[in-house]
Chain A
Amino acid sequence: MSNSISYNERLLKIFAGVRCLNKDQLPRYLEGRLTDIEKHLVEQHLVDCDLCFDALQILHKEGQLEKYVRLSNGIQQYIRDSIKPVSQLQKMERYVRKAKKRESMLIYFWLVAFIAGGGALMYLMQQYNRNKPVMARPAAVPVVPAAAMAASPPPATDSQTLQTRPVTLASSTGAVTTPPATVTPPPPAANDSAKTAALKKAAEDSLARKAAAVAAARAADSLRKKAAAKDSVARHTVKKDTPVMAAATADKTEKPVKQDDNNTAGKEKAESSSNASKPAATKAAPSSSTVVDTDEYLYRAAMVYQQQGNLDEAISRYKRLTANTGRVGEMARYQMAVCYRSKGQTGKAKRMFKEVVRMDGTMKQAAQQALDNL
């Protein structure tokens, strides 16, 4: 069985591929220095390979082994020399190509990173700009007016508190008082009218009434201080009010003006009678302060709009107040500039701030600072 297997295996040997003779085998075969197995393998190859057979035949016949060895060494060296520099060049080229590729990849990477970074920065800036007014409005807007208003001579202030309190005081003291007149910026006019009314009434009662008026004024001063202290709290309550409510208050303020007009018409009649001196005194004071009060209420309403974020409405309200050259007008201009700044209209904001600076009022420093910041 083993013989049959080996016989069959040997059959395949007929077509087994054998490599050509190498440089050492060739002379050894010629000199007969090969082993039997090696010699048989060489002869198996020689059956197929004409190149090896021809080479052996030529070397056998010519007998130029020395020349053959010399030339074969020379040709091998020639091939190595001609191939090596090329391969070195190829390697250099490959290296350079790789380096270039790496460089270009790095450039692409940095480019992409820069673009991505720029995009992220832009996005963040946009987000910041979008959120900035919302974040800044509640903090920035009330601060300046609150400080300014606290420093300024007290305006008509909250309608109900200042209207009701003097009445209660007057009722408690039993004297004729000038409730809002003492509080409002143009008190001298009101005081004068009160004094003339008092002089007209009776000389006897004048001293007592003056003393009462002084006491009422002192009480009003203390109330004013309290009101100023409560101002911020009152503003917070105003914040919650809707624009409708603010408009309602504005309307309410307008109504008394009309009433006051009517009252001023009947004022002359009232002057004739001595008994009518008290109402005349009480009604003369509002006649001078109503315009200021109206502006003040307009300003308040605009503030409410501004705090609620309705900047356009607030600006339109403030614009109405620009005719006023007094304290309210200055504040209105300042707030309008703040509104413009919030809207991003820096040109208009600057113009308004400059106007405020030019007015040279109490808000000059704040406006100048705002201008510098712009």
Chain B
Amino acid sequence: MYQQLSNLSDKELIARARKLKDREAEGVLLERYSHLLVAICLPALKNNAGANAQTLFPSLLQRLSNGLKTQSIQKASEWVHQTARTYFAHPDKQIPYYPSREAREQLHTENRVEKAASNTIEKQTLITQIQQALAGLSTDDRYLVEQFYLENKTFADLAAQKGYTPDKVRHLLKKAKSRLAMQLTNQSHVK
């Protein structure tokens, strides 16, 4: 059962946990992000003397579990990240997760691409739209996107070419992708 659940996507696990009240699915989902949760909690454990792994992680997991039952989660990684950040910022306050507009637009575009995988006409339409959106980007952004996604260059390569740090390259790419998603969403709305 565990093996079968671990092959499911985040969306399916969330659905099972919410609709069927499947605790195993919930466990598999939390376990999938637990190592990342540990990694982002390390500074808090190190800096905060009162923080203890024995109490921090159970309470954080409990909060995630509660959020899973009550909140609408579109992207699990973003939900975990936001929940952890709000936990450290306001330990006594449970702020509900709500995805940003950029994240929603990007998710929408990702879903469109996923759906168009088996539909040639839709795929062609989407490619045309992406080309148009790419043309609408600034030269630097277009260059970074084309080099990274189409030419398979790494952060380090692009950073070396442009003289940026890899973090800045990643940040610029994220911004460019967000703009691209926004343009594509606008195009679909105009239609």
Contacts and interface: CB of A to CB of B under 8 A. Distances in A.
Given A40-B152, A47-B174, A51-B78, A12 B31 contact: no
Contacts of A90: 23
Contacts of A53: 170
Contacts of A62: 42-43, 46
Given A62-B43, A79-B61, A83-B23, A12 B130 contact: yes
Contacts of B31: 76, 79-80
B183 interface: no
B40 interface: yes
Nearest to B57: A75
Interface in B94-124: 106, 109-110, 112-114, 116, 123
Interface in B63-81: 77-78, 80-81
B113 A68 contact: no
A8 B23 contact: no
How extensive is the interface on chain A, given as a class?
A: 35 or more
Nearest to B173: A47
Interface in A224-242: none
Q: B interface, how many residues as a size bin?
A: 35 or more
Contacts of B80: 51
A10 B134 CA distance: 13
Contacts of A71: 38, 41-42, 53, 57
B182 interface: no
B89 interface: no
Given A48-B174, A74-B53, A10 B149 contact: yes
B143 to A, nearest CB: 14
B81 A78 contact: no
A47 B81 CA distance: 15
A76 B167 CA distance: 30
A15 B110 contact: yes
B77 A51 contact: yes
- Main SS at interface, chain A: helix
Interface in A69-94: 71-72, 74-76, 78-80, 82-84, 86-87, 90
B145 A51 contact: no
Contacts of A58: 39-40, 42-43
Contacts of A15: 106, 109-110, 112-113, 130, 177, 181
B189 interface: no
A18 to B, nearest CB: 10
B32 A20 contact: yes
Contacts of A46: 155, 170
B34 interface: yes
Interface in A254-274: none
B124 to A, nearest CB: 8
Interface in B161-175: 167, 170, 173-174
Given A47-B170, A58-B42, A83-B26, A26 B35 contact: yes
A86 B23 contact: yes
B110 A80 contact: no
Contact of A87 (B24, B41, B43, B174): B24
A72 B34 contact: yes
B130 A11 contact: yes
Interface in A29-46: 36, 39-40, 43-44, 46
Nearest to B126: A12
A16 B127 contact: no
Nearest to A25: B35
A11 B127 contact: yes
Contacts of B154: 39-40, 43
Given A46-B155, A47-B173, A87-B24, 5 more contacts: A8-B127, A49-B77, A58-B39, A62-B42, A71-B53
Nearest to A45: B77
11 contacts: A12-B113, A14-B149, A20-B36, A43-B155, A58-B40, A59-B39, A75-B37, A76-B31, A79-B27, A83-B24, A87-B27
